[in-house]
Amino acid sequence: MFLRRAIALSLCVIAGAAVALVLMPRIARVSPDDTARLCTILDALHSDRTPPLVLFGDSVGLFGVDTRQLGGSNLCSPAQTIGEGFLLQQELPPNVNVVVHLVTPSMLDRNDAVDPDHYNAMRLCGYTPHVETRAVIARVFRFDLDPHPLRDRWYGRRHVRAAIEGFARDVLRGHRPGGWLPEQRFADLAGAQFTMSASQVQMLRECAARARRRYLVVLAPVHPRLHARVACPSGIDCVDLTRLLSEREFLDPMHANPDGARKLTAAIRDALAARRLLLRE
């Protein structure tokens, strides 16, 4: 009797794990963490409604640029790396002829190619890196993009954990939004010295060289209280907006408030117009 129960329990566990692996792509799409945004972006790129201009970048661009004013689509996502923008670039349909890459000091200061959780979500949502894409990432960052589907689904169990943790936080807070205070963020970043990683600069050059369309880098506004030594890389069409906003136009150390967002959008629009790349007059 004991043996039968043990076998039955083992079969139930195996069946549950198998079901979870099968459902993992769906779980990644509805996960309450930031990775679900990447699935939304991939879906948009694979639709027939992608406009001829797109914007890549992190949450600074996601919340700070109104691409409707540019006649384009906002493909930014929280903590998106330059390498992740390069991965998404291979998915651009032929009708896209302008790429605007909003680059923040934190994006330039890091040394990794992609966030493992972000890449896993992309893989679960149907992304497969081209051979050329994998070769570039390996050469610039010494990082191998493992494309094994089963490994992706096994690693994807962290999305289940994130969903459970998110639900638990909502229950404990009574569905009140959480977050951090701007001054706490300033305290965390007070001693930070944002610099330009050589690998990230090289990644921008790879993006520009392999875009097969107009590619414009925009250096995002930097809060006056932060220390960032960034500048437009040579050989890349680039607009430096690091000193565009005053302190009162920031919501926190990184993100513009509504007034700052309107000013940032207008500045990008002017840069596109000066290059005759503005798609909506």
Say how many C-beta atoms besides its own lie within 10 A of residue 218's C-beta: 27
Q: What pLDDT, on a 0 to 100 scale, did the predictor assign at position 20? A: 43
Q: Give the E-state strand segments of the chain in sequence order.
A: 53-56, 73-74, 98-103, 193-194, 214-219, 227-228, 238-240
CA distance 281 to 278: 7
pLDDT over 60 at 1, yes or no: no
CA distance 112 to 237: 24
Question: By C-alpha distance, which of 257, 232, 252 is closest to 242?
Answer: 232
Q: Are 102 and 75 in contact (CB under 8 A)?
A: no
Written as six digits, the tokens of 174 are: 């009574």
| Dihedral over Cα of 62, 66, 72, 73: its sign | positive
Q: Per residue in 112-138, pLDDT tens?
A: 999 988 998 899 888 999 999 999 999
**Residue 82 class from Cβ within 10 Å (0-12 exposed, 13-18 middle, 19+ buried)?**
buried
Q: What pLDDT, on a 0 to 100 scale, did the predictor assign at position 77? A: 96
pLDDT over 50 at 214, yes or no: yes
Q: Are 249 and 260 in contact (CB under 8 A)?
A: yes
Domain boundaries, the chain: 2-274
Q: Per residue in 158-176, pLDDT tens?
A: 555 555 555 455 555 555 5
Q: What pLDDT, on a 0 to 100 scale, did the predictor assign at position 21? A: 44
